[in-house]
Amino acid sequence: MTLVDCLTEDPRWDAAGLEPLAEAAARAALAGAGLDPDDWAISLLACDDARIAVLNAEFRGKPVPTNVLSWPSDDRAAQEPGATPDPPDPEDAMPGEPAELGDIAISYDTCLREAQAGGLALGDHATHLIVHAVLHLLGYDHERDEDATLMETLETAILGKMGLHDPYAPMPDV
């Protein structure tokens, strides 16, 4: 069963292999959070900076491009700083259908710029951004220090299991 339904507006994402990469990243994020990936559905918009800037302006009041945006299907954020968000309930879905977790948009241009600036492979950085966005769909956030610590710790563990570096660790001098 496919977890991520990908709508590709920018064909450069096809060349980068985003669909299988997003599927693997989302599955790893859900499993890392203790959820069965087959119980869920996520929609992904693979776009460019122009499109994500419009979305960022519309939903966050910031008319500039960003790397990734997420829209959870429900507010799952924990009330107490540093507390684990309540897990979503797959029983909320229609019988025989996976439950909707929410939507994600990712910009090729910003993702590529950030990957190049960090000396990372585009696929590795996109994987990190998808894991990050899926955790947002699950109610994790980084607005408060305690929440950021919780989210980044889980994110780093998930990426580590995927064989990827800790995005929050200082880069070694070369």
Structural domain including 126 reads 4-161
Count of C-beta atoms within a 10 Å radius of residue 2: 12
Dihedral sign, Cα of residue 66, residue 72, residue 76, residue 79:
positive
- Residue 93, pLDDT above cutoff 80: no
pLDDT at 92: 74
pLDDT at 173: 59
**pTM for the model:** 0.95
Does residue 88 form part of some domain?
yes
165 is in an annotated binding site: no
Does residue 166 form part of some domain?
no
Does residue 10 form part of some domain?
yes
Domain tally, the chain: 1
What are the CB-based long-range contacts (under 8 Å, 24+) for 120-126? 122/16, 123/16, 123/17, 123/21, 124/164, 124/165, 126/16, 126/18, 126/21, 126/22, 126/25
The pLDDT > 90 percentage for the chain reads: 89
- What average pLDDT does the segment 96-109 reach? 94
Does residue 29 form part of some domain?
yes
- Residue 146, pLDDT above cutoff 90: yes
The helix/strand/coil state of 106 is strand
- What average pLDDT does the segment 33-57 reach? 97
Does residue 115 form part of some domain?
yes
Does residue 37 form part of some domain?
yes
Does residue 139 form part of some domain?
yes
What's the pLDDT band for 89 if we cut at 50, 70, 90? confident
136 is in an annotated binding site: yes
pLDDT at 3: 96
Q: Could you tell me the CATH number of the domain that includes residue 156? A: 3.40.390.30
- Residue 117, pLDDT above cutoff 90: yes
125 is in an annotated binding site: no
